[in-house]
């Protein structure tokens, strides 16, 4: 008589255990934002304002109607593109703080192309300016990558310094070579070619093609990191440079590639910010920060909030974009100082970054639990 026995699956990790790690990665940042908003409520109460009224105004300003949703999406685009680039760099074990400078160089390269061939048909000029933006950002990212790989220079210091250099290049160009001719000297180019304007998407809002470009870049980055041999090498280098070197991988080349790809994403953001803007000019009036609007730094927080995953960075960028856009409505509704909105965003950043250590510990604990269950 033949008996059939069910295989012993008691040692296999449970589905619950396998999903616990990713769940922690999602829940902890969300709780960090909730905690930050609670602190913001205390600040509003201290000013004699109603937190419920304020947060209702914030939500209405961010997603109250289709125009608000479009404004939030537009605000989130550069942060998403920078954040996707940050995911590539951080997965390779390098830290890119140079998003601001890479945005600027991408914008400059894209602007130069539009000025050089203004009569090129839109079907060619739009992809060309986006590609030029990617090239400019990639070059600006590859420089600190090469310095780290071949000279041992800290990428944190070099990328920060490259931000300063990029800001000075922008100021120089818009004070002389690229400045719009006229009686009033404003640091901006002339109105760039209409053929390079990013077309508006259907719906009657300001939302333009750059939104789809940003989503496409996020998908491409995901496929690159997790579905290609290059992505495998980059992640291997990030996990253990010594083991990767022993396995025959070119660690130094991977570092340069990672920062170049990261810079390329930020460079595309620069091109989108120029050709998707209302003015369709490269504007340096008010300094480099007035142009980038802090997207190079906010993109880091967006990437961390998204767990350094390109696809999860999409909703994270929309959340932060909504906070920035909705904060304007909150200020208008409650008549509170603008500094409070900046402080609220700062509190969110602090809580999200601080939660990373807790998230890492919980995820490691869940992985250990899976391994212990597998040994039983």
Q: And the tokens for 246?
A: 């022993």
**Assigned domain for 366 exists:** no
Residue 197 belongs to domain with CATH number: 1.10.3470
Mean pLDDT of the chain: 87
Measured between alpha carbons, how far is 54 from 58 in angstroms, rounded to an integer? Answer: 6
Q: And the tokens for 37?
A: 């908003």
**Assigned domain for 368 exists:** no
195 has a pLDDT exceeding 60: yes
187 has a pLDDT exceeding 90: no
List, in order, residues 6 or more apart from 226 with CB less than 8 Å away: none
Structure confidence at residue 370 (pLDDT): 58
**Assigned domain for 335 exists:** no
**Assigned domain for 212 exists:** yes
183 has a pLDDT exceeding 70: no
By mean pLDDT, which of 53-62, 105-114, 206-215, 220-229 is the weakest?
Answer: 53-62
**pLDDT tens digit sequence for 133-161:** 999 999 999 999 999 999 999 999 999 99
**Assigned domain for 138 exists:** yes
**pLDDT tens digit sequence for 325-371:** 998 898 888 888 877 777 887 888 788 777 777 777 776 776 666 56
Range of the structural domain that residue 239 is part of = 67-314
Structure confidence at residue 272 (pLDDT): 97
Q: What is the pTM for the complete model shown? A: 0.88
Instruction: Please answer whether residues 24 and 362 qualify as being in contact, where contact means their C-beta atoms are separated by less than 8 angstroms.
Output: yes
**Assigned domain for 355 exists:** no
Structure confidence at residue 373 (pLDDT): 63
Residue 176 pLDDT level (bands cut at 50, 70, 90): confident
Structure confidence at residue 1 (pLDDT): 45
Q: Which has more pLDDT, 352 or 58? A: 58
Instruction: Please answer whether residues 91 and 234 qualify as being in contact, where contact means their C-beta atoms are separated by less than 8 angstroms.
Output: yes
Beta-carbon count within 10 A of 131 CB: 17
**pLDDT tens digit sequence for 269-304:** 999 999 999 989 999 888 888 899 999 999 998 998
Q: And the tokens for 88?
A: 């590539």
Structure confidence at residue 8 (pLDDT): 46
Written as one string, the DSSP assignment of 242-283 is: HHHHHTT--HHHHHHHHHHHHHHHHHHHHHHHHHTSSS-S-B
Written as one string, the DSSP assignment of 179-239 is: PPPSSS--SBPPPPPGGGSPPBPSSSSS-BHHHHHHHHHHHHHHHHHHHSHHHHHHHHHHH
Domains in the chain: how many in total? 1
**Assigned domain for 96 exists:** yes
**Assigned domain for 165 exists:** yes
By mean pLDDT, which of 174-183, 292-301, 308-317 is the weakest?
Answer: 174-183
């Amino acid at each position: 008589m033949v008996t059939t026995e069910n295989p012993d699956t008691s040692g296999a990790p449970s589905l619950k255990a396998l999903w616990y790690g990713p769940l922690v990665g999602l829940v902890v940042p969300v709780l960090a934002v909730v905690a930050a908003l609670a602190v913001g409520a205390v600040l509003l109460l201290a000013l004699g304002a109603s937190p419920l009224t304020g947060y209702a105004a914030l939500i209405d300003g961010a997603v109250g109607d289709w125009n608000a949703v479009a404004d939030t999406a537009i605000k989130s685009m550069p942060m998403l593109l920078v954040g996707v680039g940050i995911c590539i760099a951080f997965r390779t074990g390098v830290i890119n703080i140079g998003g601001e400078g890479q945005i600027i160089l991408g914008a400059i390269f894209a602007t130069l192309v539009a000025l050089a061939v203004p009569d090129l048909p839109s079907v060619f000029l739009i992809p060309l300016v986006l590609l030029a933006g990617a090239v400019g950002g990639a070059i600006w990212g590859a420089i600190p990558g090469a310095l780290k790989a071949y000279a041992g220079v800290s990428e944190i210091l070099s990328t920060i310094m490259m931000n300063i250099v990029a800001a000075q290049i922008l100021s120089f160009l818009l004070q002389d070579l690229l400045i719009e001719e006229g009686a009033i000297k404003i640091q901006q180019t002339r109105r760039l070619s209409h053929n390079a304007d990013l077309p508006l998407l259907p719906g009657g809002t300001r939302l333009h093609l750059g939104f789809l470009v940003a989503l496409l870049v996020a998908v491409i980055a995901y496929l690159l990191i997790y579905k290609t041999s290059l992505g495998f090498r980059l992640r291997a280098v990030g996990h253990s440079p010594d083991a990767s070197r022993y396995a025959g991988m070119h660690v130094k080349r991977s570092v340069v590639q990672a920062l170049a790809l990261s810079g390329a994403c930020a460079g595309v953001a620069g091109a989108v910010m120029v050709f998707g803007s209302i003015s369709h000019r490269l504007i340096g009036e008010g300094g480099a920060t007035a142009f980038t609007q802090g997207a190079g730094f906010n993109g880091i927080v967006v990437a961390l909030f998204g767990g350094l995953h390109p696809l999860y960075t999409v909703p994270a960028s929309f959340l932060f974009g909504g906070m920035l856009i909705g904060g304007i409505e909150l200020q208008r509704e409650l008549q509170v100082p603008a500094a409070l909105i900046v402080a609220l965003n700062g509190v969110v950043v602090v809580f999200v970054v601080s939660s990373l250590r807790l998230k890492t510990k919980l995820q490691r604990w869940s992985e250990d639990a899976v391994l212990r269950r597998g040994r039983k």
